[in-house]
Amino acid sequence: MQIKYLGHSAFEFISQSGNILVDPFLAANPSYTPKNIINIFVTHGHGDHLGSAIEIAKSQNSLITAIFELAGYCQSKGAPANGISFGSKIKFPWGWALFTPAFHSSSTPDGQYAGMPASILFEIDGVRIYHAGDTCLNSEMDIVREYYSPQIALLPIGGHFTMDEEQAAIAAKKLGVKTVIPMHYNTFDAIAANPEYFKSLISKSGQSAEIMEINQVLPF
Ligand code: NI
Ligand code: MN
């Protein structure tokens, strides 16, 4: 599978069965055109994560999977959505997704309650990827490592609303991943961060950071 960075916390996972979007906030990426999107995942309701999920789900006829209340909101706006919660692996043709608690908040852009915020662990074509969403450092990450051993983590480093570079480096260690892709930084002033500093911190524990450019694609 391949990972394409779309800016902020937005990623496209390119699998053998089709393309999977996560947190498709595309304000920083006006050139992006969704194609062959079979599934969309949204970690929580904030506008910089829900992004264009509803519009893309409708135009691509693709299913949004999100926490129950947020999925209900997407359905109320006419998008196909699958309401789930923390617990079990949700199966798909390309593998599975498992939602775990994130420590943050979650409301929709128009102020409705959107349930709990999530981090999402994916297995796609056999590769395990942890998308932290927006969260602080938390001990759910220990469970993720102990039972699921992800290879790749997508971690926020921008601080203010989430972990900063130093906490994300601790998270990388807790998760035991080989590779971290930093996200959720420098999109706006409050989340200014230095990905090279993050990279230097995690290299001390033998882990690598891939600092991705918008629209860059990496194979895994
Ligand atoms: Ni948020
Ligand atoms: Mn955010």
Give 23-59 pLDDT, tens digit per residue.
Answer: 999 998 999 999 999 999 999 999 999 999 999 999 9
CA of 48 to the centre of ligand 1 (A): 7
State the pLDDT at residue 72: 98
CA of 133 to the centre of ligand 1 (A): 8
Q: Where are the beta strands (DSSP E) in the chain?
A: 2-7, 10-15, 18-22, 37-41, 63-67, 81-84, 90-92, 95-101, 118-124, 127-131, 152-156, 179-183, 208-209, 217-219
C-alpha distances out from residue 208 to 29, 200, 217, Å: 25, 9, 17
Share above pLDDT 70 across residues of the chain, in percent, rounded to a whole number:
100
Euclidean distance between CA atoms 203 and 139, whole angstroms: 22
State the pLDDT at residue 139: 97
CA of 68 to the centre of ligand 1 (A): 17
Please name which ligand lies nearest the alpha carbon of 45. Answer: 1
Average pLDDT, the chain: 98
Please name which ligand lies nearest the alpha carbon of 117. Answer: 1
State the pLDDT at residue 73: 98
CA of 184 to the centre of ligand 2 (A): 7
Q: How confident is the model at residue 130 (pLDDT cuts 50, 70, 90)?
A: very high
Please name which ligand lies nearest the alpha carbon of 109. Answer: 1
Q: How confident is the model at residue 150 (pLDDT cuts 50, 70, 90)?
A: very high
Per-chain residues with Cβ under 5 A from ion ligand 2: 48, 134
Please name which ligand lies nearest the alpha carbon of 106. Answer: 1
The residue among 87 and 94 whose pLDDT is bigger is 94
Q: How confident is the model at residue 174 (pLDDT cuts 50, 70, 90)?
A: very high
**Mean pLDDT within 3-25:** 98
Share above pLDDT 90 across residues of the chain, in percent, rounded to a whole number:
99
Q: How confident is the model at residue 135 (pLDDT cuts 50, 70, 90)?
A: very high
State the pLDDT at residue 86: 97
